[in-house]
Copies of this chain bind each other. A is one copy, B any other.
């Protein structure tokens, strides 16, 4: 990931409504959710929701597909992992123990050290 895209992504995530949408879609999994369902959970007017979904799509963090009269939005997982890699590029001067342990709590980011525990 290049710097420009990372900046756009972080800007997209720095807004309350958008951050909630993203977390909701990350939890929803690859199947995603219809725009209307997202709006109900988030509690946003249609125009506001649409504005932020478009923003997130331009940032490359979510994608959309039409399903009948619904538009289904879903998280673009590689965008998030790319963002994390960009942020922590060449981190800790090669000492993973500095930044890795705190990630263990997530089932998605097991670290080698924890597997023997």
Residue positions of A touching B, CB distance < 8 A: 3, 6-7, 10-11, 13-16, 19-20, 22-23, 26-30, 77-78, 80-82, 84-96, 98-103, 105-112, 115
Question: For residue A28, which residue of chain B has the nearest CB?
Answer: B93
A-B contact pairs, 16 of them (CB 8 A): A7-B14, A7-B15, A10-B10, A11-B11, A13-B87, A27-B90, A29-B92, A77-B91, A80-B88, A85-B103, A88-B109, A89-B106, A96-B108, A96-B110, A100-B108, A103-B109
Q: Is the interface of A mostly helix, strand, loop or mixed?
A: helix
Least Cβ–Cβ distance between A10 and chain B, in angstroms: 4
A14 touches B16 (CB 8 A): no
Contacts A6-B19, A14-B11, A111-B110 given; indicate if A29 touches B88 (C-beta within 8 A).
no
B84 touches A84 (CB 8 A): yes
Assembled-state Cα–Cα distance A27/B96 (Å) = 12
Q: Which of B87, B99, B109 contacts A22 (CB 8 A)?
A: B87
B89 touches A103 (CB 8 A): no
